[in-house]
Amino acid sequence: MRIDRDSYGTLALVFILGAFAIWASLRFIPVRFLAWAIVVLVWAFCTWQLFFFRVPDRARRGSDKAVASAADGRVVIVDEVYEGEVLKRQCKRICVYMNFFDVHANYWPVSGEITYYRYHPGKHLLAFKPKASEENEHTTVVIRTADGQEVLFRQLAGTFARRIVCHAEPGKKVQASEQCGIIKFGSRLDMYLPLNADVKVKIGDKVLAAEGIIAILQ
């Protein structure tokens, strides 16, 4: 396991502010019990932040046929929708919601070549709401597999997320189940697949990024 390299600055700020809060509590709060209670809470928060920005070692089970979950979390939507930004067709959509305790590192769902990438500024609605897919701050990435099938996925910021990191760029060759970025704090990841994809998950399932296979492309 390692710490996400794009989160070093965030963690440095957290620990600097944490150290200041601990010093101020011990220096200015005369009630020792209260001062030490604050110290424990601040230290617990800093430890949780290390845990939050972790990138665990995962078995790489995705391929150009097996679609791995791009995020840890719970499946909240499995349906068919029209994808109007890029693909312009009906797709199977699978949405994974990440809570505060899930790994927030994201992974490429399939192997192939990136044909489209765009960052969209937007709102910060609750990430589990269906309309968050279009209205919230998000990225859109399309990967074309070796046999020409296209998989689109979106990193969606939630109410508390204020930064999305994505390492996509058109023309880049990617390997399934390698890290592609991170969303900082509670958020959602949507995947759009061809209609003939064999979906392996249902609403309520808990999935692991990189290891959990959510569908098989035909």
Say which CATH number the domain at 77 has: 2.70.70.10
Co-location of 93 and 192 in the same domain: yes
What's the whole-model pTM score? 0.82
Co-location of 36 and 76 in the same domain: no
The residue assigned the tokens 């200041």 is 20
The residue assigned the tokens 């569908």 is 215
Residue 73 has a pLDDT of 94
Give me the percent of the chain exceeding a pLDDT of 90: 68
Co-location of 88 and 119 in the same domain: yes
Confidence of residue 181 (pLDDT cuts 50, 70, 90): very high
Point out the domain boundary residue: 35, 55, 75.
55
In a domain, 208, yes or no: yes
The residue assigned the tokens 């035909």 is 218
Residue 78 has a pLDDT of 97
Co-location of 15 and 72 in the same domain: no
What is the average pLDDT value for the chain, to the nearest integer? 89
Co-location of 80 and 21 in the same domain: no
In a domain, 61, yes or no: no
In a domain, 60, yes or no: no
Q: Tokens representing 52? A: 């939050």
Co-location of 16 and 117 in the same domain: no
Co-location of 25 and 127 in the same domain: no
Phi then psi for residue 193, to 5 deg, are -120, 160
In a domain, 113, yes or no: yes
The Cα 100–Cα 79 span in angstroms is: 25
Give strand pairing partners of 189.
Answer: 96, 155
Q: Give CA angle at 145 (96, 107), nearest 5°.
A: 35
Co-location of 158 and 51 in the same domain: no
Give strand pairing partners of 141.
Answer: 117, 153
In the chain, the number of structural domains is: 2
In a domain, 175, yes or no: yes
In a domain, 170, yes or no: yes
Residue 53 has a pLDDT of 82
The Cα 126–Cα 132 span in angstroms is: 7
The boundaries of the domain holding residue 97 are: 66-216
In a domain, 207, yes or no: yes
The catalytic residues are 187
Co-location of 81 and 155 in the same domain: yes
The yes-or-no verdict on residue 153 having pLDDT over 80 is yes
Co-location of 16 and 91 in the same domain: no
Residue 186 has a pLDDT of 62
Co-location of 122 and 180 in the same domain: yes
Co-location of 34 and 80 in the same domain: no
The Cα 36–Cα 29 span in angstroms is: 9
